[in-house]
Chains A and B, each alone.
Chain A
Amino acid sequence: MDYLNNLASTFLDWKVIGEVLPSLFAVGLPNTLVLAVSSGIIGTALGMLLALMGISRNLVARWIARVYTDVFRGLPAILTILVISLGFGPGVRDLTGIASPYPMGVAALSLISAAYIGEIFRSGIQSVDKGQLEASRALGFGYGPAMRLIVVPQGVRRVLPALVNQFIALIKDSSLVFTLGLMASERELFQIGQDEASRSGNLSGYVAAGIFYLAMTIPLTHVVNLIDSRLRTGRAKNRGEKQEPDAAVAVVGKGAHS
């Protein structure tokens, strides 16, 4: 039983956890949220741009999207964060006078997640039946409006679960900005756990931070599953809608959730 006791005292020292909780709440959580949410929003916007470039008829646009995706998806996240922050950070600091590496961390996380999100959007948009674009165009919508109003919304719905996976990854990857040497007030969850670990010589601080990560990521998964099933079946009020017999067969057959 020594083994279990050892495990408990190393990772579940309640006293250590109790001590680190306040700063996880007051400092770590807001910082992690700011990092993840802001880079999530920027990454989503950039990702959509990349997806549209990736399927555009313009060869140059396609090529740029391809290279961007290959590079940012292929490099270890920590390397990108270091290059962006330490490589471009000083230049940005001279230009804007902002000394904090924090915005550069957000920029790096955004650029990385855009590469993944762009591929997610692209696969979703390309999975929409070509007849949707054709029907929209036949009604008189131009290519841009047809994509924006009809095709892209359908594509995005299909990839919501994958998109949330990416947001979860982003929440966790936001911990990598610890490499940037942030000020005490800028520390995110993971770094606070780490600082506590080096202060107390006990790993329970990490566990405490881990609980915060789970508290964010698990509800996110379930919320999106709920939204996803609602989008598939139509609005909640239509769920009881009786189907015509042959429609029920059609639903089993093809395009059931399209």
Chain B
Amino acid sequence: MTQLTPGSLEAKGIHLAFGANKVLRGIDLHVRAGTTTSVIGPSGSGKSTLLRVMNRLIEPDQGDLLLDGRSVLKDSPDELRRRIGMVFQQFNLFPHKSVGENVAFALRKLRKLPKEQAREEALAQLDLVGLRHKADVRPATLSGGQQQRVAIARALAMKPEVMFFDEATSALDPELVKGVLALMTDLAKGGMTMVVVTHEMGFSKNVSDTVTFMDAGVVVESGSPDQLFTEPRTERLKGFLSDVL
């Protein structure tokens, strides 16, 4: 759907504690270029925190982070984040800017594109998510599903090598979830490298290449969707699946 330059992402032995609260306890995660990994698990298991550590919105206490096989912990975190797109549960669009400007803003300020060109690219990106006609309105006039699609366009416009989705459909009304999931599926099939923290078991089962089950700050099980959903090996995953399915 768009020109992609997917990269691989690897987290090695990630530890993170907030005071005495050990949130991540030795996480290993390897996402091959062009594949989609779903991260599932109960609330508070550290899934969203893991995403934030992997783009260094939160710095890990220990461990290493590799993008395209190269450690990025010593790089500027701002540079790293330009290579990783992130989509949030609450969309986090800029409410004071038009939809078009939401997408164009980082292109102008960070990629230093001239205004016209940034606008062109933003419109092209909005076209891909079916919202070009909304470019001149404020985000608040859009439905939640449309806002989330704008947020995806905003992240894609930076031409990231990896995309993170942090419960991207959890804040949406049920009838709006489908459109966003369809877009995410297109992206995954189009060869983007994606890490998807989600409660949408259908998506992790049908779209992802790898499913990782986290609980209490550790990866409990990881493997193909078939493996995890049909033959869970641990009691914890069995229990989780029986709760959510």
A residues with a Cβ closer than 8 A to B are 129, 131-132, 134-135, 137-142, 145, 149-150, 153-154, 157, 231, 234, 238, 241-244, 246-247, 250-251, 255-256, 258
Render B103-125 as a binary contact track against A, CB cut-off 8 A, 1 for contact: 00110011000000000000000
Q: Is the CB of A139 within 8 A of B140?
A: no
Could you list 10 further interchain pairs (A-B, Cβ under 8 angstroms) beyond the known A137-B81, A138-B85, A142-B78? A135-B151, A139-B81, A139-B106, A139-B154, A141-B106, A153-B96, A154-B96, A234-B98, A238-B136, A241-B138
Residues of B within 8 A of A251 (CB): 140
Interface of A is mostly: helix
B96 touches A231 (CB 8 A): yes
Complexed CA–CA distance, A139 and B93 (Å): 11
Q: Is B1 an interface residue (CB 8 A)?
A: no
* Interface check B182, CB cutoff 8 A: no
Contacts of B55 in A (CB 8 A): 138
Instruction: Contact check, B94 vs A150: say whether CB atoms are below 8 A apart.
Output: yes
Contact of A246 among B95, B106, B176 (CB under 8 A): B176
Check B92–A134 contact: CB distance below 8 A.
yes
Docked-complex contact B109 and A145, CB < 8 angstroms: yes
What separation, in Å, do the CA atoms of A231 and B59 have in the docked complex?
36
CA gap between A244 and B110 in the complex, in Å: 32
**A/B interface sample: 20 pairs, CB < 8 A:** A131-B92, A134-B57, A135-B92, A135-B93, A135-B151, A137-B57, A138-B81, A138-B85, A138-B86, A140-B110, A149-B105, A157-B96, A238-B138, A238-B141, A244-B141, A246-B173, A246-B176, A250-B144, A258-B95, A258-B140
Given the interface contacts A140-B110, A141-B106, A244-B146, does A256 sit within 8 Å of B140 by beta carbon? yes
Per-residue A-contact encoding for B69-99, CB less than 8 Å = 1, 0 else: 0000000001101101110101011111010
Nearest residue, chain B, Cβ from A143 = B78
Chain A residues, CB < 8 A from B143? 244, 246-247, 250
Interface size on B, residues (CB 8 A): 36
Give A153 to B176 CA distance when docked, in angstroms.
31
User: For the complex, what is the distance from the CA of A241 to the CA of B55, rounded to whole Å?
Assistant: 37
Which residue of A has the minimal Cβ distance to B172? A246
Segment 111-166 of B: residues with Cβ below 8 Å from A: 136-138, 140-144, 146, 151, 154-155, 158
Minimum Cβ distance to chain B for residue A157 (Å): 7
B176, closest chain A residue (CB): A246
| A145 to B146 CA separation, bound complex (whole angstroms) | 27
In the complex, which of the residues B82, B85, B93, B94 has the most CB atoms of chain A within 10 Å of its own CB atom? Answer: B94
A149 & B109 in contact (Cβ 8 Å cutoff): yes
Chain A residues within an 8 Å CB radius of B142:
244, 247
| CB of A141 to closest CB in B, whole Å | 7
User: Do residues B137 and A241 form an inter-chain contact, with CB atoms below 8 A?
Assistant: yes
Decide if A131 touches B109 in the complex (CB within 8 Å): no
Residues of B close to A244: CB separation below 8 A:
141-143, 146
Contact of B106 with A250 in the complex, beta carbons under 8 Å: no
Question: Least Cβ distance of A130 to chain B in Å?
Answer: 9
B110 adjacent to A139 (CB under 8 Å): yes
| Cβ–Cβ < 8 Å partners of B144 in chain A | 246, 250
Q: Which of A135, A137, A247 contacts B140 (CB 8 A)?
A: A247
The answer for the CA separation of A134 and B173 in the assembled complex, in Å, is 23
